[in-house]
Amino acid sequence: MTPEDLAGYATLSDPQLHPDGVRVAFVVSRMDLDDDRYERRIWVWDGATSRSFTHGPADTRPRWSPDGTRLAFLRATGEPGKVAQVAVMGAGGGEAAVITSFALGASECEWSPDGGRLAVIGAEWLESGLDDDERKRRPRRIRGAGFRFDNLGWLHDRRKNVYLVDPAGGDPVALTSGEDRDGNVVWRPDGKAVAFLSSRHARRYVEPGVQAWEVPVGGGEAVALVEPGSWTDPSYGPGGAFHLVGHPDPWGYPRVSGVWRIEPGGPVRLAADLDRNFAVPAPVVTPSGPQWLDDGSFRAAIEDRATVRIVEVHSDGTWTDVAGGERTITGMTTRSDGSAMALVATTPTDPGELVWWERGVERVVTDLNAGFREKAGLVPAEHFTVAHDGVELDAWVLLPPGPAKVPLLLNIHGGPATQFGFGFFDEFQVYAGAGFGVVACNPRGSSGRGTDFVRTPVGRWHEERPPDLEDILAVVDAALARYERLDADRMGIMGGSYGGFMTGRILPLDHRWKSAVPERGLYSFTSFAGTSDIGYWFPFNYLGDWTYQGWDTLWAASPLSRAHEVTTPCLFIHSEEDFRCPIEQAEQYFAVLVERGVEAEMLRFPGSGHELSRSGKPKYRRERFDAILEWHRRHLGVTT
């Protein structure tokens, strides 16, 4: 696989089963490198064949009406700055009617139980009546925290509220108002109220915590259903009981997210003995959260040791496996009687297809990536384990074809509460396709292995050699011993976000590396705490009982504190509108290396955020790959 092949495969997501229990609507996304955009269309599988159902170029989030006669979805033009609106079309096809015109677009739409209305999340300016030029000209006046968020941009001058919309069109009816940012709207089964998530507590955006609220569709004030916590994915069971995914402790991250029933006495966790994550961070599962069955049980995706699989949690709290294997399931939709499901599943050598599961038997029903799989020269990933410090670590190696020795290229994932796994990852395939021996692992601090595993680094990053750092280096040593083709004299290291942070921590301690690409990393907690969109609480989450007076802890945990000991040539990659790890992080580390005379370069992407490598502009994603390959080839002696 080469960087040009980014345009060669499709990503499938958000499968939605039709009320007839057979047809499935799903989103197919492709990168268009020529026009520098993503093309997204809704496809439908009818039980026999699949076809493109909408013309795009930016159609997402399909939702069938309860009677199955209509499909609502979000439609945008694909042009920069043009927002999505709600569209409705007949289930048999035809032209779609766009039925909303929110100034800043719509982000969700859900049918009422009777199909007569849609609950919509619409975004508007706090101050209307300004033209675009005047709005751009004005200085930004910030009155509190939460004024910007990565991948969402500036938020201080806008709101997101819940609206009722007639599927035939007309003016929306606001159910909530004010300066709040509401989302995750769901209907109560009786159709008399909707629930949603919103952070409305007195210290919102300074302290973490979101609440679930319920508002009558006939009008009235929203009522809180739960105290602030780490909540997502609200849903109602068949009997009307309200449920959330997450944890009651708003300061509990990193922690396993369970499913909780909200009762008058407080949240009650279901399947409490299942120490696995129901809120999969990456790649995200769409649709996410519980999908309820008629008997009161539900099915959901969970992370489990480098896989994402489907479990069924029964009404008595017990649970069983439904669909698993060495793969990553990124989408699931089920019949309410549990007899059939549609899945989107990927493997290291397959970007994914739609899979039909019926009474335990599976068959792949699309072939959208058949040509890509045949021509891209994808390299299988070999899984191995490493015993270290009393735990067994999962690791992978991808070796290019042939017997020759190859440079070792270590990849460190983000998070750290995410995981590498048995799914397709374009990064690994591009690097292996360029002649590198790719090594990757899930150190302690990764998700998918339960509470104790994910919380191991908490309170340890101020140490010179914290446990996750030691895990990563132990895997490197084990890979060198196990695979003779990996060249110990030609080793490169790279990673993004937490991966950039850990690259910056490793380089001063281990001088074997001949090449490094730290990307969008956290390098200085002392400035991150005041500039990042999560800076108010993330240092507390990982560094422990920290306050703004705890500079010694902040500095000791910062890769920048040891940057003067780095000798490895570094290419820093960062986006100029990264609000998660602001670009000043890379600038500081880069400045130290330049002052010390260490070879260093910086690649800056304008107008892009923290997610560039996964969802940035297609041309930027290709140019990023080109730069990474050139840098590692230059320093590790790989010829094209």
pLDDT at 80: 80
CA distance 193 to 214: 7
Exposure string of 381-419, with b = 16+ CB inside 10 Å and e = fewer, is beebebebeebebbbbbbbbeeeeebbbbbbbbbbbbbb
Question: Above 80 in pLDDT, residue 45?
Answer: yes
∠ CA 174-124-287, nearest 5°, is: 75
Contact 245, 289 (CB under 8 A): yes
- Report DSSP letters for 382-427, one per residue: EEEEEEETTEEEEEEEE--SSSS-EEEEEEE-SSSS----SS--HH
CA distance 494 to 569: 12
Which residues are 71's β-sheet partners? Answer: 64, 89
Listed in sequence order, the residues at least 6 apart from 41 whose beta carbon sits closer than 8 Å to its beta carbon are 27, 28, 52, 53, 54, 55, 56, 57, 59
Reported confidence tier of residue 620, pLDDT bands at 50, 70, 90: very high
Length, in residues, of the chain: 640
- pLDDT, tens digit, 9 for 90 and up, residues 579-601: 999 999 999 999 999 999 999 99
Instruction: Centre a 10 Å sphere on the Cβ of residue 7 and count the other Cβ atoms it contains.
Output: 15
> Is 80 strand, coil or helix?
coil
Residue with tokens 């495969």: 9
Q: What is the mean pLDDT of residues 484-510?
A: 98
> Is 375 strand, coil or helix?
helix
- pLDDT, tens digit, 9 for 90 and up, residues 188-237: 999 999 999 999 999 999 999 999 999 999 989 999 999 999 999 999 99
Mean pLDDT over all residues of the chain?
A: 96
Give the H/E segment covering residue 624. Answer: helix 618-636
CA distance 453 to 444: 5
- pLDDT, tens digit, 9 for 90 and up, residues 127-145: 988 998 999 999 999 999 9
Q: Burial level of 75, CB count in 10 A (0-12/13-18/19+)?
A: buried
Instruction: Centre a 10 Å sphere on the Cβ of residue 71 and count the other Cβ atoms it contains.
Output: 25
Which residues are 493's β-sheet partners? Answer: 410, 516
CA distance 253 to 281: 12
Question: Above 70 in pLDDT, residue 546?
Answer: no
CA distance 608 to 494: 20
- Reported pTM: 0.96
Listed in sequence order, the residues at least 6 apart from 190 whose beta carbon sits closer than 8 Å to its beta carbon are 113, 240
What stretches of 239-317 adopt beta strand conformation (E)? Answer: 242-247, 258-263, 266-270, 291-292, 298-304, 307-313
Q: What is the SS3 string spanning 327-342? A: CEEEEEEECCCCCEEE
CA distance 531 to 575: 15
Helix axes 426-433, 618-636, angle to 10 degrees: 40
Question: Above 90 in pLDDT, residue 638?
Answer: no
- Whether residue 416 is preceded by a cis peptide bond, meaning omega within 30 degrees of 0, is yes
Question: Above 70 in pLDDT, residue 248?
Answer: yes
Helix axes 498-506, 467-482, angle to 10 degrees: 80
Q: What is the mean pLDDT of residues 432-456?
A: 98
Q: What is the mean pLDDT of residues 162-169?
A: 97
Which residues are 470's β-sheet partners? Answer: none
Residue with tokens 């976000």: 497
Question: Above 90 in pLDDT, residue 295?
Answer: yes
- pLDDT, tens digit, 9 for 90 and up, residues 54-108: 999 999 999 999 999 999 999 998 888 789 999 999 999 999 999 999 999 999 9
Q: What is the mean pLDDT of residues 273-288?
A: 95
pLDDT at 639: 75
pLDDT at 587: 98
The bridge status of strand 242-247 relative to strand 230-236 is antiparallel
Q: What is the mean pLDDT of residues 17-32?
A: 98
pLDDT at 81: 79
Helices and strands of the chain, counted as H and E runs: 12, 38
Which residues are 36's β-sheet partners? Answer: none
Reported confidence tier of residue 550, pLDDT bands at 50, 70, 90: confident
Contact 488, 480 (CB under 8 A): yes
Q: What percent of the chain has pLDDT over 70?
A: 99
Reported confidence tier of residue 640, pLDDT bands at 50, 70, 90: low
- Report DSSP letters for 481-547, one per residue: HH-TTEEEEEEEEEEETHHHHHHHHHTTT-TT-SEEEEES----HHHHHHHSTTTTTHHHHHH-S--
Supply 486's token pair.
């990996």
CA distances to 53, 73, 163 from 59, in Å:
10, 7, 21
Q: Which amino acid is at 17?
A: L
Q: Which domains does the chain have, with CATH numbers?
A: 11-129+150-372 (2.120.10.30), 379-636 (3.40.50.1820)
pLDDT at 379: 97
Q: What is the dihedral of CA 433, 436, 437, 438, to 10 degrees?
A: -80
∠ CA 426-427-431, nearest 5°, is: 115
Q: What is the dihedral of CA 78, 10, 16, 617, to 10 degrees?
A: -30
- pLDDT, tens digit, 9 for 90 and up, residues 49-63: 999 999 999 999 999
Instruction: Please measure the distance between the N-terminal and C-terminal CA atoms of the chain and give it in whole angstroms.
Output: 13
Give the H/E segment covering residue 174. Answer: strand 173-174
Q: Which of 201, 106, 105 is nearest to 146 (CA)?
A: 201
Alpha helices in 72-223, H assignment, sequence order: 132-137
Reported confidence tier of residue 548, pLDDT bands at 50, 70, 90: low
pLDDT at 554: 92
Question: Above 90 in pLDDT, residue 150?
Answer: yes
Q: What is the mean pLDDT of residues 521-526?
A: 96
Question: Above 80 in pLDDT, residue 329?
Answer: yes
Question: Above 90 in pLDDT, residue 545?
Answer: no
Contact 371, 353 (CB under 8 A): no
> Is 134 strand, coil or helix?
helix
- pLDDT, tens digit, 9 for 90 and up, residues 105-130: 999 999 999 999 999 999 999 998 89
pLDDT at 224: 97
